[in-house]
Amino acid sequence: MESSSPLTVEEAAQLLKVSKYTIYELIKRGEIPAQRIGRQIRIDPDTLFNSLHRSDQNNNPTTKTFEPENPDLNQVPPTDQNSNSINPTSNFKSETPLNNLVFIGSHDPVVELFADFWKHASTPFELHLEFKGSMEGLMALYHNQAQISGIHLWDENTQEYNLPYIHYVIPGEPVTLINLVQRIQGFIIQPGNPWKLKSWEDLTQKGLRFVNRQKGSGTRLKLDSYLNKAKITPAEIQGYTQEVDTHMDIASCVANNQADVGIGVQSAAHRMGLDFIPLFHERYDLVLLPEKMPTEALQHILTILKSPAFHNAIERQVGYDTSLTGKILYQN
């Protein structure tokens, strides 16, 4: 292949006939080298094909490739095409100008969808995404490393989501809590459920390979809470110490036969053509520091969250409930 101009993420996705989020996942895992040029991520086409060729040679013949996501996820309002770019991965870090907003928090495909809407909105603010655990997101707010976080932290003592943790980690700080979406989490498994999984106790089956979320993530905290109730120790679960950072990482491990089961959102399983066993319904909220962001930026966030187009785009995905989306749940 002759040398040619660097590709954008969108161009690489079109060339490979996959979703741009698939490209971001491959970049994050180091399977596609990329570089930042200005505010944009660029991929050398020769490097792209050489990397994928090496990956194909090294992979097991039964390894699955990424399938394109549900195209509905990419449907956004056809507005300003010249708005600022987005950094959807944590691999590319640069100095953040004052007019930039930084999101650090738990992963959900709906956050990526929100970022897509933001990109096509008429706003002077650039949005940067960094997916970490819910607790890390709150700590980032505390240390003024971000103005927005996404969390889903269940408190057993109060039987309440998120607020107890907010009061504990950032006490006295003015915050606004807005619901992004309600969602279903459960077992992400191979098609046909070959291990016949039904409950938490089934994770202790001999030979069953589990893949876990990282410490501090809301999913990990929820898992540990259920295991404690069921009197199951981590040592009884093969793979409990194998950790990944996102729901798509969980689905990728199962799809590529690196694990038999993991816990994640239904939409991630659906994207990868996997089966899903629902376990619990939860609330995923955005935590904002209104005094650390311009009022105009906060208004843009609320406008997108409350827009029918955004709600419709979410509802075209599986496993989501938008009945609270955009609702301010708490302010102080």
Q: pLDDT for 248-300, tens place per residue?
A: 999 999 999 999 999 999 999 999 999 999 999 999 999 999 999 999 999 99
Task: Determine the pLDDT at residue 5.
Answer: 77
- Domain ranges in the chain? 9-52, 71-182+284-331, 185-281
Q: What are phi and psi of 156, to 5 degrees?
A: -65, -35
CATH architecture of the region 185-281: 3-Layer(aba) Sandwich (3.40)
Task: Determine the pLDDT at residue 33.
Answer: 81
Task: Determine the pLDDT at residue 75.
Answer: 39
Give the pLDDT band of residue 20 (cuts 50, 70, 90): low
Check whether 238 has a pLDDT greater than 80.
yes
Give the pLDDT band of residue 48 (cuts 50, 70, 90): confident
Q: Where are the alpha helices (DSSP H) in the chain?
A: 9-16, 20-28, 45-58, 109-119, 134-142, 163-169, 218-229, 247-255, 266-271, 295-306, 308-315
Give the pLDDT band of residue 15 (cuts 50, 70, 90): confident
Task: Determine the pLDDT at residue 246.
Answer: 92
* Same fold: 71-182+284-331 with 185-281: yes
Give the pLDDT band of residue 134 (cuts 50, 70, 90): very high
Q: What is 71-182+284-331's CATH superfamily?
A: Periplasmic binding protein-like II (3.40.190.10)
Check whether 81 has a pLDDT greater than 80.
no
* Nearest Cα residue to 290 out of 180, 161, 170, 202: 170
